[in-house]
Chain A
Amino acid sequence: MSVVTNTTTIGAIEAPSRRNTELALLAFAVAIPVFAYLNVGLALDGKVPTGMLGYGLGLGLLAGVAHLVVRKFARYADPLLLPLATLLNGLGLVLIWRLDQSPRLIRLAELSFGVFSPSATKQLMYSALGIALFAAVLMLLKDHRILQRYTYISMAVALFLLILPMFFPARNGAKIWVSIAGFNVQPGEFAKIIIAIFFSGYLMVKRDALALASRRFMGLYLPRGRDLGPILGIWALSILILVFETDLGTSLLFFGLFVVMLYVATERTSWIVFGLLMSVGGAVGVATFEPHVQARVNAWQDPFSCYATDGACQQIGDALLSFGSGGTLGTGLGQGNSDLIGFAANADFILTTVGEELGLAGTMAFLLLYGLIVERGVRTALAARDPFGKLLAIGLSSAFAIQVFVVAGGVMGLIPLTGMTMPFVAAGGSSVLANWALIGILIRISDTARRPAPAPAPSPDAEMTQVVRP
């Protein structure tokens, strides 16, 4: 068998890196927002918008830089994640720019702040910073398993970030902001990534105890009392966030993320049942005595009964009217009246502009784009070879999915509205930065997962070859 060692490399198949596929898709993903920009400009002013070339070049440059970084530092990464994120970011920029042109919103801003400042330029700057952060993640994080070393540090950091907004004044009824030197940061957006790192590291170590030490009762595996500790702790934390920061979205995101990761790590359905019961119990409990949350629930139940009296009801009602007037194919970009929502039209409520101007068809396409990002994340988790990477990929993609669900569901009236941003699309620096970092980590994990394995040890076959007897 001495010859065998010489021949092990013959059959090695080089896995396609698919970077050229990514580049082609990326070019497509830059072209669509430019088309949308042209569309808005023609609809609003009847002429080609002046900033189109600069905007297209800017977005193209950002996408090109991101692509080169991926090509250099994550050769085998998933080909879809970057184009999908770029497309959503680009379309978000167009939608924000379109709302900047609205005379109603300009007047509203002048009334409330005295001066109107366009959000699109700020958003473009944040997108550039986001892509820089994305590149930095890929360059500095050579291996996602390094993050495992910081399991408990990330827990502390996440707790710190979550508690921090409590000490700052509430803005628009929710304490999710930190104001430092004129910049408003939403630490919750970054905390979702950091807490996913903590959950992955923690569950990787504790999964066996959580999965196996349990009693069977009525078809469910009941965990031991002491193993319930962490889930109770996280639940208590999310309730505390809900009570003190009146931020239903963040609290739902963290608890949901924990339950999903617990289920993935242990394969026990009982965790899902417990999680749902606990979150429903907690939400109902808080909603009974917290007026801010209560107002949101009332607005969700029947927005048109309190439409004229309550601001929250009016927002939801306007959002529903907006979706309704969009119909199946929409009114066309730049031709809707979604700016009637006024406050937060380009942030939490940006999906209503999609719903009105692109209709059901456009909204579905948007949701599918988000769905594809989540699918690629889950696929990465399936392909990852190490348990930490698996859990982290699942955690990040489900955090993304839950966020999309919470905000889209809230705007569409499926669940009570909570203050969260539509990833990549809504105006907001923290959200764009955090989500680019999230995509960066997913790309890093998928690069490690899809990288061809080192050649197997010679002769892996257990059976020996039979010898032909002459």
Chain B
Amino acid sequence: MSELTLTVMRLGFLAVLWLFVIVAVQVIRSDLFGTRVTQRGSRRNADARPQQARQTPAPPQQRQQQQQGGRQRRGAPTKLVVSEGSLTGTTVALQGQTITLGRAHDSTIVLDDDYASSRHARIYPDRDGQWIVEDLGSTNGTYLDRTRLTAPTPIALGAPIRIGKTVIELRK
């Protein structure tokens, strides 16, 4: 066996061994840096950031759902944006998953709002991919535009949904 081949194999083996170590560390990266939070909105509310950090929108589930959800329709909303309230600027990607809103800690968007109920409302796609908002029996109600919701209602693109002091809307 030529000297060169052996040298290449020797260094190659060390490289592969270290590659394994690095891959293993990558697997546990989330232990070191926490879960990754998806993109934030504008930079206006820089001082409101610390509060937003609490509502990490469960990335693993989104990824799973994305694979199962299939293709989205044309013209369908792709993200949910908080436009008023303490979480202004937060966006959540819409990937076919149900989004729950409320003060409960396991909500997708945890509202830090005294006027919101712990499980206030949910937003989910129906079978055709149309996004629906449903009030979950909240104390103060959920408003789409200016009307208080009594039944699950389809959401138009850009229509403001008001929950307590928070306003959210769906955007492309």
Contacts and interface: CB of A to CB of B under 8 A. Distances in A.
Interface of A is mostly: loop
Interface of B: 1, 5-7, 9-14, 16-18, 20-21, 23-25, 27-28, 31, 58, 60-61, 64, 98, 100, 103-108, 114-119, 122, 136-140
Contact of B23 (A3, A25, A46, A358): A25
Contacts of B58: 13
A84 B18 contact: no
Interface stretch (A34-42, A198-206, A278-286): A34-42
Nearest to A79: B27
A145 interface: no
Contacts of A84: 24
Interface stretch (A99-107, A287-295, A340-348, A455-463): A455-463
Contact of A80 (B7, B18, B27, B119): B27
A2 interface: yes
Contacts of B12: 35
Given A3-B137, A14-B61, A36 B23 contact: no
Nearest to B9: A39
Nearest to A41: B1
Given A2-B137, A80-B24, A329-B10, 16 more contacts: A3-B136, A7-B119, A12-B106, A25-B27, A28-B20, A35-B13, A42-B6, A87-B20, A329-B11, A333-B10, A358-B14, A362-B14, A376-B28, A379-B31, A465-B118, A468-B140
A362 B14 CA distance: 6
A237 interface: no
A332 interface: yes
Nearest to B25: A372
A113 to B, nearest CB: 32
**Which residue, of B17, B21, B117, has the highest number of chain A Cβ atoms within 10 A?**
B17
A456 B106 contact: yes
B148 to A, nearest CB: 11
A39 B114 contact: no
A13 B106 contact: yes
Contacts of B10: 39, 329-333, 335
A10 B118 contact: no
A13 B61 contact: yes
A61 B140 CA distance: 60
B18 A361 contact: yes
A29 interface: yes
A333 B8 CA distance: 12
The 8 A-B residue pairs with the shortest CB-CB distance, nearest first, are: A3-B137, A332-B10, A11-B106, A46-B1, A465-B139, A11-B100, A365-B17, A466-B114
B71 to A, nearest CB: 23
B121 to A, nearest CB: 10
A6 B117 CA distance: 15
A327 B160 CA distance: 67
